[in-house]
Structure 1
Amino acid sequence: MTNTSENVTGIKIAVTFNGTHIIVTDASPALVGVDKVNILAIGLYLDDQYVDNVTDYAEGSTWTHGSINHDISEFGDFNTLCSRSNQKIKTSGPIVIALNPSFTQSKLPANVVGNSIVVHLAFGTELLDVSGKKQSSSWVGGGTEIPEFSTIAVPMAAILGLMFIFGRKKQE
């Protein structure tokens, strides 16, 4: 996800969904070496009843989640907000959102704007946007759906297999 609520370049959030877990990590090339990077909150267009728990590996970090009906920046409405209890502890992820077994969809639902997830990322005041103004945080979202791993892996394996078969026939 690279669309930001502020005019900041080089911001990227990596999100993976494997059917049971959503994993969120800061992958911003502009923030490499910045020690104040901090994922503050995650909004999901998913009912809170489907979220079992939210964890990360930062020591002393605890997350809560609850239902909201909130329009976040230009990214649309979201139903669930995951946030950290102690904002002083910095974390850039991975944050793992465990979904309960009653969620059986192969992809995350998207709101009317086309977003499934939005992340509130803080990154200190060292980073300047293109106008030279100091930035401290931005909501980051994306208009693309988050594919399940098998949705990508199976077609890629099929393509590689076909290339191998046709390559072998060509050699004969």
Structure 2
Amino acid sequence: MTLSAADRMELHDLVCRYAAQVDDRRFDAVAGLFTDDAVLAMPAPPRELDPVVEHTGRLAIEAALAALDEVPLTCHAVLGAVFDPGATPDTAAGRVTGVAHHLTRRGERTADLVWHLRYHDRYARAGGRWRLARRELHIDFIHTQDVRRSRTDDNGGSS
């Protein structure tokens, strides 16, 4: 089995749309990128960097992602994605690498909690479109850095 160029483009759009919609806090739209019975497997950082909790179904996935509402700003960047055909023409697998920035307030300062991550994905074609059937988040490492200024600063930022 092989994936067509059109399939690869649609899969790449799917993973980029996931990142953009998470950053836009459109969790209902993010959940719509998954199949009805999909699983989102998440770590519990900083203690656990590999998945330890599974959220099954679109409503559970939407609720799990809504926890990001507590973070004033996120910025997800997809650095690379590779896709492989699955066992049938309507399935595929992927490995997506990226960086996720999470801006948080620490007193008067803004900090950026940075996750260097990999998603291990399984995809299924549903309703004529590629959807996420399973997404596992693996964090390779975490670091924190100071932020000089962000659009979340209510006083115009700090130097």
Which one has a larger percent strand, Structure 1 or Structure 2? 2
> What range is the shorter-chain TM-score in?
0.3 to 0.5
TM-score relative to the length of structure 2: 0.33
Per chain length, whose mean CA-contact separation is higher, i.e. which structure has more relative contact order (CA < 8 Å, sep 6+)? 1
Larger radius of gyration: 1
